[in-house]
Every structure is written in structure tokens, then in C-alpha cells.
Amino acid sequence: MTEEEILAHYRETNALLEGHFLLSSGLHSDRYLQSAKVLMYPDRAAALCRALADKVTASIGENAVDIVVAPAMGGVIVGYELARQLDVPGIFTEREDGVFTFRRGFSLEPGARVIMSEDIVTTGKSSRECIDTIRAAGGVVVAATCLIDRSNGTADVGVPLISLMELEVNSYEPDKLPPELAGTPAIKPGSRNLK
């Protein structure tokens, strides 16, 4: 799948937005990718995650993964569909008192080879938190994945990051906004609760 084909899925579902956005990382941006609007279409989710599964297999080999773990909320659909494409179970972590944890009876076998899967990576904070939770539960994280790496390859999640595509999207510290953003209110479309 080419980068233009990937972006076409986002454009055709109005999931590539322009304006002034406050990201879950605390950064501001003039563009926002709302993967949930793409993933609400099973055929699009399957196509994107099939392409991601092919990249995972090419990168780490076949049968190199026992389970996919995703952080709720944004990673749940991607994690499920990636697990389906890789023919392994898929589970997710949830925040409890602000910290990722396994709930709903989910657990990992000691030494389980895990792929951590997200929809979008910007700074890698949620990915690193989810990876810490996986390791604390006895899993071995062999790689992380995402549909779109908004950091354009600069985010460090502590393990190899396999993305369907890298995309440079401007992100700004709150005190370093360009004039066109400084004069407009920010919309908070992300899923992580900001303080």
C-alpha cells in the first residue's frame, strides 16, 4: 500500500483534519489524524492492518509473535485487527487512576512475545507506558506498531517501531505557537485526558 493510498483512506473518511488542535501529548498542531473515523469502516481497517501485518512479518519474521497488546482507546481496533491478520490473540490495556493496566481478566503468559499496537504515534508516551505495563506483566515486547508515525521517525518507544507510514505533521509547544494558531482556540480531539 502506497503512502498516497493510506492518506486516501484518511481523506475519504474526513479523518485528516486541518485547524488548531491540542494533542493528547500536550502539543499543538495544525493537522490532526482521527484514525477512529477510518477504522469505523471494517474494509478500510482490514486493508490498512493487512498492510501493517505484512510490514511486521517482513521486519520480524513469521510466527515471531504470540499476542498483540494495544492501549485503550485509540489502539483497540488496530490491535484487534492486526492480531486477526497475524492470527494471534489480541488484548488491550486500560487506564486506571491514570496508569495503564490489564483488566477484564486479560493477562500475559510469562515470556510471551508481544507486539504493542497503536493507531497514531506522536511523542511515543502512550506507547512507552503500554510497553512498561506489558513488561511488568511478564511479556517480551518484540516491536511496536502504528498506522501513522506522526513523529516522522523521531519518536523513541524503546523497541523497534514499525509504522505503516511516517508523516511529518507540525507539532508545537504551547508557548511556541505560530501566529496563525496563537489567535485561534484549540480543539481537543484526542483520547487521553489532559490536565
Of residues 85 and 195, more confidently modeled: 85
pLDDT at 190: 60
Instruction: Indicate if the pLDDT at residue 194 is higher than 80.
Output: no
Instruction: Indicate if the pLDDT at residue 35 is higher than 50.
Output: yes
Instruction: Indicate if the pLDDT at residue 191 is higher than 70.
Output: no
Given pLDDT bands bounded at 50, 70 and 90, which one contains residue 193? very low
pTM: 0.86
The strands making up 171-172's β-sheet, listed across from edge to edge, are: 16-22, 28-33, 171-172
Instruction: Indicate if the pLDDT at residue 189 is higher than 90.
Output: no
Given pLDDT bands bounded at 50, 70 and 90, which one contains residue 195? very low
On whether the CB atoms of residues 190 and 23 are closer than 8 A, the answer is: yes
